[in-house]
């Protein structure tokens, strides 16, 4: 990068990295702070508490029942009555209890994996807002540089007007351009404040006292086009869903076996005799219903596998497209940096030198000044496009997995 352009842009790094050092975030710090401040943690904890309670409920035996009956109440004499009291217990067969626990555990695993994905999505959102704030900071610095150049030029033009070397309208035009530059500076200041405010909504704190580091923004590094698969976090969601589908299949198989109920208790007769009764009952299986439930569980297994295959296919394509966007923006930024900006800077220096010698008009200087500013703005825009494309690429490849507490 040309020395003057780098100096103009790096000035923003010093300003925004030291204006409020206690709350100046690097990207990683902003992500970590946003995850810590997010209510997602409480929501996930509440969901997991409910699922753990459901797991505890699944890990219990069927509750027993007590039945009582009175029979043979009538005439004559009401002496033939009998009272039965029985204790009934259903005996589960086929591993139903373990299957229920496995299904509940599968729900817990799905919830945990989805919570990790939400944190990774939050990190991606923070990264996008952080890049927006970085770009706004550099755009603000370019607006300040434009005002400084316009002020210098306005002074030069006014001096020449005072010396009757330039017409009056040249001074008016120079002052108008200076006013336009100051208006754009005000807009750039507002845009930067708004970008910080949006970032503060996720990281917390006062948006007027936070800062971002822009030094890395000026570097556009080459990335390798990859055909990477799902990230461990995204893959964990499908793995958890697969395990849950397997657990549900085992539960439906276990439910196809009927459970006997055993009972026993005393029988009291109206003449004072006492007896003991015992027995069992076994419901008849509904084979059609059991088969349908098993088939549905098997279809859910196949659906999870199909969804995983679709997601892998789409993810590979998305990663390739995101990488191409990153590289396209990088090439544009490098081309502007190496070919456009230096030429615009040299042109402005030469035109201003010629203007001071009387060889060029104010219009020539104005055009050269505008061309330099537009080249620098285009360079920052290309860098912003590069880093915004990196947001998608980093999310797809799992850059912040470890930072958000993933795998």
CB–CB of 120/401 below 8 Å?
yes
Which CA distances in Å does 215 have to 85, 131, 218? 83, 12, 6
| pLDDT recorded at residue 175 | 85
Beta pairing class for 211-212 and 274-281: unpaired
pLDDT reading at 405 higher than 80: no
Is there a domain that residue 36 lies in?
no
Is there a domain that residue 56 lies in?
no
pLDDT reading at 131 higher than 90: yes
Non-local (6+) Cβ contacts of 36 within 8 A are none
DSSP strands (E only) in 52-120:
65-71, 82-90
What secondary structure letter does DSSP report for 94?
S
In whole angstroms, what is the distance from residue 318 CA to residue 256 CA?
44
| pLDDT recorded at residue 205 | 75
Question: pLDDT tens digits for 164-202?
Answer: 777 788 788 888 888 988 998 999 999 999 999 999 888
Kindly indicate the confidence band of residue 229, based on its pLDDT and cuts at 50, 70 and 90.
low
**How far is residue 328 CA from its own chain's centroid?**
24
| pLDDT recorded at residue 227 | 58
Is there a domain that residue 73 lies in?
yes
| pLDDT recorded at residue 56 | 93
| pLDDT recorded at residue 2 | 47
CB–CB of 247/99 below 8 Å?
yes
79 C-beta neighbours (distance < 10 Å), count:
11
**Into how many domains does the chain fold?**
1
Tell which wins on pLDDT, 53 or 373. Answer: 53
pLDDT reading at 263 higher than 80: yes
Kindly indicate the confidence band of residue 159, based on its pLDDT and cuts at 50, 70 and 90.
confident
Q: Tell me the β-bridge partners of 281.
A: 261
Q: What is the mean pLDDT of residues 213-221?
A: 82
pLDDT reading at 12 higher than 50: no
Q: Please tell me whether residue 24 adopts helix, strand or coil conformation.
A: strand
Nearest to 67 by CA among 261, 351, 234: 261
In whole angstroms, what is the distance from residue 175 CA to residue 23 CA?
39
- The phi and psi torsions of 327 (rounded to 5 degrees) equal -65, -35
Kindly indicate the confidence band of residue 7, based on its pLDDT and cuts at 50, 70 and 90.
very low
The CATH number linked to 336 is 1.20.1600.10
For residues 323-338, b (16+ Cβ closer than 10 Å) or e, as one string? bebbbebbebbbebbe
| pLDDT recorded at residue 166 | 72
Domain that holds residue 319: 63-404
Is there a domain that residue 52 lies in?
no
CB–CB of 325/392 below 8 Å?
yes
Is there a domain that residue 55 lies in?
no
Is there a domain that residue 106 lies in?
yes
Non-local (6+) Cβ contacts of 96 within 8 A are 251, 254, 255, 257, 259
Is there a domain that residue 103 lies in?
yes
Non-local (6+) Cβ contacts of 269 within 8 A are 81, 82, 275
Is there a domain that residue 255 lies in?
yes
pTM confidence score = 0.79
Q: What is the mean pLDDT of residues 348-362?
A: 77
Question: Any idea what the Cα angle at residue 315 is, between residues 314 and 321, rounded to 5°?
Answer: 90
In whole angstroms, what is the distance from residue 67 CA to residue 262 CA?
12
Q: Kind and range of the H or E element at 325?
A: helix 287-335
CB–CB of 180/146 below 8 Å?
no
Q: Tell me the β-bridge partners of 67.
A: 86
């Amino acid at each position: 990068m040309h020395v003057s352009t780098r100096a103009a842009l790096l000035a923003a790094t010093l300003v925004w990295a030291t204006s409020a050092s206690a709350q100046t975030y690097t990207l990683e710090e902003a992500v970590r702070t946003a995850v810590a401040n997010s209510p997602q943690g409480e929501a996930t904890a509440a969901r997991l508490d409910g699922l753990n309670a459901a797991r505890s409920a699944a890990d219990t035996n069927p509750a027993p029942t007590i039945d009582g009956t009175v029979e043979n109440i009538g005439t004559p004499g009401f002496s033939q009555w009998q009272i039965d009291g029985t204790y009934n217990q259903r005996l589960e067969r086929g591993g139903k209890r373990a299957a229920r626990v496995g299904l509940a555990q599968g729900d817990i695993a799905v919830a945990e994996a989805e919570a990790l994905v939400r944190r990774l999505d939050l990190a991606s959102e923070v990264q996008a807002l952080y890049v927006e704030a970085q770009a706004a900071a550099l755009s603000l610095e370019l607006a300040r540089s434009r005002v400084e150049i316009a002020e210098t030029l306005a002074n030069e033009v006014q001096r020449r007007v005072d010396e009757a070397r330039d017409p009056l309208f040249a001074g008016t035009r120079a002052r108008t351009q200076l006013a336009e530059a100051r208006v754009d500076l005000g807009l750039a200041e507002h845009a930067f404040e708004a970008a910080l405010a949006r970032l503060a909504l996720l990281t917390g704190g006062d948006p007027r006292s936070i800062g971002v580091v822009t030094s890395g923004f000026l570097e556009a590094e080459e990335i390798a086009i990859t055909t990477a698969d799902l990230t461990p976090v995204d893959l964990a969601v499908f793995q958890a869903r697969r395990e849950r589908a397997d657990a549900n299949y085992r539960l439906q198989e276990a439910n196809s076996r009927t459970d006997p109920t055993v009972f026993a208790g005393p029988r009291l007769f109206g003449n004072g005799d006492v007896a003991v009764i015992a027995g069992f009952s076994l419901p008849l299986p509904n084979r059609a219903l059991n088969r349908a439930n098993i088939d549905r569980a098997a279809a859910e297994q196949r659906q999870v596998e199909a969804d995983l295959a679709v997601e892998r296919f789409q993810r590979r394509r998305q990663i390739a497209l995101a990488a191409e966007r990153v590289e396209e923006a990088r090439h544009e930024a490098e081309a502007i940096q190496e070919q456009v900006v230096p030429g615009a800077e040299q042109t402005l220096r030469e035109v201003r030198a010629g203007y001071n010698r009387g060889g060029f008009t104010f219009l020539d200087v104005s055009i050269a000044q505008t061309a330099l500013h537009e080249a620098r703005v285009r360079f920052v825009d290309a860098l912003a496009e590069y880093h915004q494309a990196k947001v998608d690429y980093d999310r797809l490849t799992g850059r912040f997995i470890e930072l958000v507490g993933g795998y």
